[in-house]
Amino acid sequence: MTKKIIAIFLVIYLFIAISCISAKAADNALSINAKAFVLMDPISGRILLEKNSQEKMAMASTTKIMTAIVALEKGDLQSQIRVSPRAASIGGSSFYLKPGDVLTLEDMLFGLLLPSGNDAAVAIAEHIAGTEDKFVQMMNQKALELGALNTHFTNPHGLDDPEHYTTAVDLAVISRYALKNIKFREIVQTKTKEIKYGDIDKQIFNTNRLLWEFEGADGIKTGYTGKAGRCLVATAKNNGFHLLSVVLGSQNHFEDSKKLLNYGFENYKLKNIISKNNYLTTVNVENGVIKTVDLIAKDSITLPIEESENIKFKLIVPKKIKAPVFKGEEVGQVQVYIDDDLVTSTSLITAKDVPLKTYNYILNRILRFWTRWEKTD
Protein backbone atom coordinates (compact mmCIF):
# COMPACT_ATOMS: atom_id res chain seq x y z
CA MET A 1 0.00 0.00 0.00
CA THR A 2 1.54 3.33 -1.05
CA LYS A 3 1.87 6.34 1.22
CA LYS A 4 -0.65 8.21 -0.92
CA ILE A 5 -3.28 5.50 -0.41
CA ILE A 6 -2.53 5.44 3.31
CA ALA A 7 -2.91 9.22 3.46
CA ILE A 8 -6.29 9.03 1.71
CA PHE A 9 -7.38 6.31 4.11
CA LEU A 10 -6.31 8.40 7.12
CA VAL A 11 -7.56 11.66 5.61
CA ILE A 12 -7.28 14.41 8.20
CA TYR A 13 -8.82 12.50 11.08
CA LEU A 14 -7.34 9.18 11.98
CA PHE A 15 -8.87 7.04 14.70
CA ILE A 16 -7.19 3.80 15.67
CA ALA A 17 -8.69 1.57 18.35
CA ILE A 18 -6.26 0.16 20.90
CA SER A 19 -7.26 -1.66 24.07
CA CYS A 20 -6.72 -0.09 27.46
CA ILE A 21 -8.69 0.76 30.64
CA SER A 22 -9.40 4.19 32.07
CA ALA A 23 -8.86 4.90 35.76
CA LYS A 24 -9.76 8.51 36.41
CA ALA A 25 -12.42 8.07 39.05
CA ALA A 26 -11.49 7.02 42.56
CA ASP A 27 -11.56 3.27 43.18
CA ASN A 28 -13.39 2.57 46.44
CA ALA A 29 -11.39 -0.62 46.93
CA LEU A 30 -8.29 1.47 47.59
CA SER A 31 -9.74 2.73 50.90
CA ILE A 32 -7.94 6.06 50.75
CA ASN A 33 -9.09 8.44 53.48
CA ALA A 34 -7.47 11.60 52.12
CA LYS A 35 -10.01 14.34 51.38
CA ALA A 36 -8.43 14.91 47.96
CA PHE A 37 -5.82 13.13 45.89
CA VAL A 38 -4.29 12.81 42.44
CA LEU A 39 -2.17 10.14 40.80
CA MET A 40 -0.32 11.52 37.77
CA ASP A 41 2.17 10.47 35.13
CA PRO A 42 4.67 13.34 35.48
CA ILE A 43 6.07 12.86 31.97
CA SER A 44 2.84 13.42 30.04
CA GLY A 45 0.82 15.03 32.83
CA ARG A 46 -1.91 12.42 32.42
CA ILE A 47 -4.05 11.99 35.55
CA LEU A 48 -4.62 8.30 36.26
CA LEU A 49 -6.74 8.58 39.40
CA GLU A 50 -8.32 11.47 41.28
CA LYS A 51 -10.74 12.50 43.99
CA ASN A 52 -11.89 16.06 44.76
CA SER A 53 -8.87 17.19 42.76
CA GLN A 54 -10.29 20.67 42.05
CA GLU A 55 -11.30 21.45 45.63
CA LYS A 56 -9.39 24.32 47.25
CA MET A 57 -7.63 23.10 50.38
CA ALA A 58 -4.86 24.05 52.81
CA MET A 59 -1.50 22.63 51.72
CA ALA A 60 0.76 22.96 54.79
CA SER A 61 4.49 22.52 54.04
CA THR A 62 3.96 21.21 50.52
CA THR A 63 4.01 25.00 49.97
CA LYS A 64 7.81 24.69 50.10
CA ILE A 65 7.85 23.05 46.69
CA MET A 66 7.01 26.45 45.20
CA THR A 67 9.39 28.20 47.60
CA ALA A 68 12.18 25.98 46.26
CA ILE A 69 11.18 26.57 42.62
CA VAL A 70 11.41 30.36 42.98
CA ALA A 71 14.65 30.14 44.95
CA LEU A 72 16.29 27.83 42.41
CA GLU A 73 15.24 30.00 39.47
CA LYS A 74 16.00 33.37 41.01
CA GLY A 75 18.94 32.68 43.33
CA ASP A 76 22.60 31.65 43.26
CA LEU A 77 23.14 28.37 45.09
CA GLN A 78 26.47 29.56 46.49
CA SER A 79 25.18 32.95 47.65
CA GLN A 80 25.34 33.56 51.41
CA ILE A 81 22.19 33.97 53.47
CA ARG A 82 22.33 35.71 56.85
CA VAL A 83 19.43 34.64 59.06
CA SER A 84 17.30 37.51 60.36
CA PRO A 85 15.68 37.59 63.82
CA ARG A 86 12.28 37.29 62.11
CA ALA A 87 13.29 34.16 60.18
CA ALA A 88 14.72 32.53 63.29
CA SER A 89 11.55 33.23 65.28
CA ILE A 90 9.04 31.54 62.95
CA GLY A 91 7.17 28.73 64.70
CA GLY A 92 6.30 25.25 63.51
CA SER A 93 8.72 22.78 61.93
CA SER A 94 12.25 24.12 62.10
CA PHE A 95 15.79 23.93 60.77
CA TYR A 96 16.78 25.44 64.16
CA LEU A 97 18.48 28.52 62.77
CA LYS A 98 19.67 31.37 64.98
CA PRO A 99 19.82 35.08 64.16
CA GLY A 100 23.12 35.85 62.42
CA ASP A 101 23.73 32.31 61.15
CA VAL A 102 25.18 32.36 57.62
CA LEU A 103 24.52 29.51 55.17
CA THR A 104 24.62 29.10 51.41
CA LEU A 105 21.34 29.04 49.54
CA GLU A 106 22.09 25.43 48.63
CA ASP A 107 22.37 24.36 52.29
CA MET A 108 19.30 26.43 53.15
CA LEU A 109 17.30 24.55 50.51
CA PHE A 110 18.25 21.25 52.14
CA GLY A 111 17.05 22.73 55.43
CA LEU A 112 13.83 23.80 53.72
CA LEU A 113 12.98 20.50 52.05
CA LEU A 114 14.37 17.81 54.38
CA PRO A 115 13.43 18.84 57.97
CA SER A 116 10.86 21.26 56.49
CA GLY A 117 12.26 24.34 58.17
CA ASN A 118 9.83 27.24 58.32
CA ASP A 119 12.76 29.38 59.44
CA ALA A 120 14.65 28.37 56.28
CA ALA A 121 11.61 29.34 54.18
CA VAL A 122 11.54 32.89 55.56
CA ALA A 123 15.32 33.27 55.35
CA ILE A 124 15.25 32.21 51.69
CA ALA A 125 12.35 34.56 50.93
CA GLU A 126 14.09 37.56 52.49
CA HIS A 127 17.33 36.70 50.69
CA ILE A 128 15.78 36.34 47.24
CA ALA A 129 13.22 39.15 47.27
CA GLY A 130 14.24 41.46 50.13
CA THR A 131 10.98 40.86 51.99
CA GLU A 132 8.72 37.89 52.57
CA ASP A 133 5.77 39.70 50.97
CA LYS A 134 7.67 40.35 47.73
CA PHE A 135 8.77 36.74 47.60
CA VAL A 136 5.16 35.56 48.02
CA GLN A 137 4.21 37.74 45.05
CA MET A 138 6.83 35.88 43.03
CA MET A 139 5.35 32.56 44.18
CA ASN A 140 1.87 33.59 43.07
CA GLN A 141 3.16 34.84 39.74
CA LYS A 142 4.88 31.52 39.12
CA ALA A 143 1.69 29.63 39.98
CA LEU A 144 -0.17 31.64 37.32
CA GLU A 145 2.56 30.94 34.77
CA LEU A 146 2.23 27.21 35.41
CA GLY A 147 -1.54 27.27 35.08
CA ALA A 148 -2.17 26.57 38.78
CA LEU A 149 -5.07 28.99 38.75
CA ASN A 150 -6.73 27.71 41.93
CA THR A 151 -3.63 28.19 44.06
CA HIS A 152 -2.81 31.21 46.22
CA PHE A 153 0.09 31.72 48.61
CA THR A 154 0.32 34.12 51.55
CA ASN A 155 3.61 32.82 52.95
CA PRO A 156 6.60 30.68 51.89
CA HIS A 157 6.26 28.01 54.61
CA GLY A 158 2.63 26.82 54.67
CA LEU A 159 1.37 27.77 58.11
CA ASP A 160 -2.42 28.05 58.08
CA ASP A 161 -4.03 31.12 56.56
CA PRO A 162 -7.54 31.39 55.04
CA GLU A 163 -6.09 32.79 51.81
CA HIS A 164 -3.34 30.18 51.53
CA TYR A 165 -4.66 27.25 49.47
CA THR A 166 -4.20 24.97 46.51
CA THR A 167 -5.90 21.96 44.88
CA ALA A 168 -4.58 18.44 44.48
CA VAL A 169 -4.32 18.87 40.71
CA ASP A 170 -2.61 22.28 40.98
CA LEU A 171 -0.09 20.87 43.42
CA ALA A 172 0.59 18.00 41.01
CA VAL A 173 1.16 20.51 38.20
CA ILE A 174 3.54 22.55 40.37
CA SER A 175 5.41 19.42 41.47
CA ARG A 176 5.67 18.11 37.93
CA TYR A 177 7.32 21.38 36.95
CA ALA A 178 9.69 21.27 39.93
CA LEU A 179 10.89 17.80 38.92
CA LYS A 180 12.38 19.28 35.75
CA ASN A 181 15.04 20.95 37.92
CA ILE A 182 18.01 18.64 38.52
CA LYS A 183 18.97 20.26 41.83
CA PHE A 184 15.41 20.01 43.12
CA ARG A 185 15.33 16.29 42.30
CA GLU A 186 18.67 15.79 44.03
CA ILE A 187 17.51 17.47 47.23
CA VAL A 188 14.09 15.83 47.60
CA GLN A 189 15.47 12.29 47.21
CA THR A 190 18.17 12.87 49.85
CA LYS A 191 17.49 10.92 53.03
CA THR A 192 20.08 12.55 55.31
CA LYS A 193 22.47 15.44 54.94
CA GLU A 194 25.31 16.89 56.96
CA ILE A 195 25.20 20.69 56.99
CA LYS A 196 28.24 22.66 58.18
CA TYR A 197 28.32 26.42 58.76
CA GLY A 198 30.40 28.45 61.19
CA ASP A 199 31.04 26.21 64.18
CA ILE A 200 27.84 24.25 63.52
CA ASP A 201 27.86 20.66 62.24
CA LYS A 202 24.25 19.59 61.80
CA GLN A 203 22.83 16.23 60.62
CA ILE A 204 19.36 16.59 59.13
CA PHE A 205 16.83 13.95 58.09
CA ASN A 206 14.11 13.95 55.44
CA THR A 207 10.59 13.90 56.89
CA ASN A 208 9.43 11.82 53.92
CA ARG A 209 9.39 8.26 55.31
CA LEU A 210 8.59 6.82 51.89
CA LEU A 211 12.26 7.24 50.97
CA TRP A 212 12.97 4.42 53.42
CA GLU A 213 9.71 2.47 53.26
CA PHE A 214 8.69 2.39 49.57
CA GLU A 215 10.89 0.86 46.88
CA GLY A 216 11.79 3.37 44.20
CA ALA A 217 10.55 6.42 46.16
CA ASP A 218 12.48 9.56 45.21
CA GLY A 219 10.51 12.54 46.57
CA ILE A 220 8.98 14.98 47.28
CA LYS A 221 7.53 16.79 50.31
CA THR A 222 5.47 16.22 53.45
CA GLY A 223 3.18 18.69 55.21
CA TYR A 224 1.03 18.98 58.31
CA THR A 225 -1.02 21.63 60.07
CA GLY A 226 -4.24 21.45 62.07
CA LYS A 227 -6.26 22.84 59.17
CA ALA A 228 -4.51 21.00 56.35
CA GLY A 229 -4.24 17.61 58.00
CA ARG A 230 -1.49 15.34 56.75
CA CYS A 231 -0.33 16.06 53.20
CA LEU A 232 2.25 14.46 50.95
CA VAL A 233 3.49 14.88 47.42
CA ALA A 234 5.26 11.62 46.58
CA THR A 235 7.14 10.26 43.58
CA ALA A 236 8.53 6.81 42.81
CA LYS A 237 10.08 4.90 39.92
CA ASN A 238 9.55 1.28 38.91
CA ASN A 239 11.31 -0.15 35.84
CA GLY A 240 11.61 3.30 34.29
CA PHE A 241 7.97 4.15 35.02
CA HIS A 242 7.68 7.32 37.12
CA LEU A 243 4.57 8.22 39.11
CA LEU A 244 3.59 11.28 41.14
CA SER A 245 0.89 11.29 43.82
CA VAL A 246 -0.66 14.08 45.87
CA VAL A 247 -2.73 13.53 49.00
CA LEU A 248 -4.32 16.40 50.94
CA GLY A 249 -6.24 16.23 54.21
CA SER A 250 -5.21 12.68 55.03
CA GLN A 251 -5.14 10.84 58.35
CA ASN A 252 -2.21 8.71 57.15
CA HIS A 253 -0.49 10.41 54.22
CA PHE A 254 2.22 7.74 53.90
CA GLU A 255 -0.18 4.80 53.65
CA ASP A 256 -2.49 6.67 51.29
CA SER A 257 0.44 7.53 49.04
CA LYS A 258 1.68 3.93 49.03
CA LYS A 259 -1.77 2.74 47.96
CA LEU A 260 -1.91 5.23 45.11
CA LEU A 261 1.58 4.47 43.86
CA ASN A 262 1.07 0.72 44.10
CA TYR A 263 -2.22 1.07 42.22
CA GLY A 264 -0.44 2.88 39.41
CA PHE A 265 2.42 0.42 39.11
CA GLU A 266 0.12 -2.61 39.28
CA ASN A 267 -2.50 -1.41 36.80
CA TYR A 268 -0.59 0.64 34.24
CA LYS A 269 2.20 -0.16 31.82
CA LEU A 270 4.21 2.30 29.76
CA LYS A 271 3.48 1.96 26.05
CA ASN A 272 5.01 3.73 23.09
CA ILE A 273 2.05 5.32 21.33
CA ILE A 274 3.86 7.31 18.64
CA SER A 275 7.52 7.16 17.64
CA LYS A 276 9.54 10.23 16.73
CA ASN A 277 9.98 10.71 12.94
CA ASN A 278 7.32 8.10 12.11
CA TYR A 279 5.40 8.81 8.91
CA LEU A 280 1.77 9.72 9.63
CA THR A 281 0.33 11.41 6.51
CA THR A 282 1.05 13.78 3.60
CA VAL A 283 -0.01 17.31 2.77
CA ASN A 284 -0.40 19.00 -0.62
CA VAL A 285 2.19 21.62 -1.54
CA GLU A 286 1.11 24.60 -3.65
CA ASN A 287 3.67 25.73 -6.28
CA GLY A 288 6.23 23.24 -5.06
CA VAL A 289 8.64 21.27 -7.22
CA ILE A 290 6.75 18.22 -5.91
CA LYS A 291 3.03 18.10 -5.21
CA THR A 292 3.07 16.60 -1.69
CA VAL A 293 5.36 16.26 1.30
CA ASP A 294 5.36 13.64 4.05
CA LEU A 295 4.49 14.66 7.59
CA ILE A 296 6.20 12.89 10.49
CA ALA A 297 5.87 13.03 14.29
CA LYS A 298 8.08 15.66 15.90
CA ASP A 299 8.35 13.75 19.20
CA SER A 300 7.68 10.31 20.60
CA ILE A 301 4.69 9.84 22.88
CA THR A 302 4.81 7.23 25.63
CA LEU A 303 1.90 6.88 28.04
CA PRO A 304 0.89 4.70 30.98
CA ILE A 305 -1.93 2.55 29.68
CA GLU A 306 -4.26 -0.02 31.17
CA GLU A 307 -5.48 -2.94 29.13
CA SER A 308 -8.80 -2.30 27.42
CA GLU A 309 -9.84 1.12 26.41
CA ASN A 310 -9.93 3.10 23.18
CA ILE A 311 -6.97 5.23 22.26
CA LYS A 312 -7.76 7.54 19.37
CA PHE A 313 -5.43 9.58 17.20
CA LYS A 314 -6.68 12.73 15.52
CA LEU A 315 -4.60 14.33 12.76
CA ILE A 316 -5.07 18.06 12.31
CA VAL A 317 -3.56 19.00 8.95
CA PRO A 318 -4.23 21.92 6.56
CA LYS A 319 -5.55 21.09 3.08
CA LYS A 320 -2.39 22.53 1.54
CA ILE A 321 0.74 24.53 2.34
CA LYS A 322 2.69 26.92 0.14
CA ALA A 323 6.19 26.34 -1.16
CA PRO A 324 8.96 26.79 -0.26
CA VAL A 325 8.74 24.20 2.52
CA PHE A 326 11.65 23.56 4.86
CA LYS A 327 12.47 20.27 6.52
CA GLY A 328 11.24 20.20 10.13
CA GLU A 329 8.60 22.88 9.58
CA GLU A 330 5.58 22.45 11.88
CA VAL A 331 2.41 22.26 9.79
CA GLY A 332 -0.01 20.16 11.82
CA GLN A 333 -0.63 18.18 14.96
CA VAL A 334 -1.45 14.65 16.06
CA GLN A 335 -3.62 14.50 19.17
CA VAL A 336 -3.95 11.46 21.42
CA TYR A 337 -7.31 10.80 23.06
CA ILE A 338 -8.15 8.25 25.74
CA ASP A 339 -11.85 7.67 26.30
CA ASP A 340 -12.57 10.79 24.21
CA ASP A 341 -10.40 12.90 26.55
CA LEU A 342 -7.48 14.74 24.96
CA VAL A 343 -4.41 13.49 26.83
CA THR A 344 -1.44 14.82 24.89
CA SER A 345 -0.25 15.80 21.42
CA THR A 346 2.81 16.40 19.30
CA SER A 347 3.47 18.45 16.20
CA LEU A 348 3.55 17.09 12.65
CA ILE A 349 6.64 18.29 10.81
CA THR A 350 7.73 18.11 7.19
CA ALA A 351 10.13 15.28 6.33
CA LYS A 352 12.11 17.23 3.71
CA ASP A 353 12.55 20.52 1.86
CA VAL A 354 10.25 21.38 -1.04
CA PRO A 355 11.63 24.28 -3.14
CA LEU A 356 9.36 26.78 -4.88
CA LYS A 357 8.60 25.99 -8.51
CA THR A 358 10.09 29.06 -10.23
CA TYR A 359 10.26 30.17 -13.90
CA ASN A 360 13.90 29.10 -14.05
CA TYR A 361 13.02 25.70 -12.61
CA ILE A 362 10.30 25.18 -15.25
CA LEU A 363 12.64 26.34 -18.07
CA ASN A 364 15.37 24.02 -16.82
CA ARG A 365 12.96 21.06 -16.79
CA ILE A 366 11.94 21.84 -20.41
CA LEU A 367 15.55 22.06 -21.52
CA ARG A 368 16.44 18.80 -19.78
CA PHE A 369 13.43 17.11 -21.44
CA TRP A 370 14.40 18.27 -24.92
CA THR A 371 18.02 17.30 -24.33
CA ARG A 372 16.99 13.78 -23.44
CA TRP A 373 14.60 13.67 -26.42
CA GLU A 374 17.33 14.75 -28.85
CA LYS A 375 19.78 12.14 -27.50
CA THR A 376 17.24 9.37 -28.00
CA ASP A 377 16.20 10.49 -31.48
Cβ distance 269 to 305 under 8 Å? yes
| Cα(1)–Cα(13) distance, integer angstroms | 19
Q: Look up 276 and say whether it is catalytic.
A: no
pLDDT at 362: 64
**Residues 6 or more apart whose Cβ sits within 8 Å of residue 323:** 285, 286, 287, 288, 289, 354, 355, 356, 357
User: Which portions of the chain are predicted below pLDDT 70?
Assistant: 1-29, 308, 359, 361-377
Catalytically annotated residue among 53, 61, 93, 245: 61
Q: What are phi and psi of 363, to 5 degrees?
A: -60, -40
Catalytic, 19? Answer no
What distance in Å separates the CA atoms of residue 175 and residue 208, rounded to the nearest whole number?
Answer: 15
DSSP string covering 113-162: HSS--HHHHHHHHHHHHSSHHHHHHHHHHHHHHHT-TT-B-S-SS----T
Look at residue 315 in the predicted model and tell me its pLDDT: 97
38: left (phi over 0), alpha (psi -120 to 50) or beta: beta
Q: Are 200 and 88 in contact (CB under 8 A)?
A: no
- From the list 353, 368, 286, 363, the residue with the least C-alpha distance to 319 is 286
CATH number for the domain running over 3-19+273-350: 2.60.410.10
Nearest to 296 by CA among 283, 313, 277, 314: 277
Annotated active-site residue in 53, 84, 116, 250: 116
Domain edges within the chain = 3-19+273-350, 28-267
Structure pTM? 0.86
**Half-sphere exposure in the Cβ direction for 39 (13 Å, CA):** 28
Q: Which CATH code for domain 28-267?
A: 3.40.710.10
Instruction: Please pick, among 35, 51, 64, 312, the residue that the annotation labels catalytic.
Output: 64
Whether residue 116 lies in the annotated active site:
yes
- Distance in angstroms (rounded) separating the CA atoms of residues 60 and 110: 18
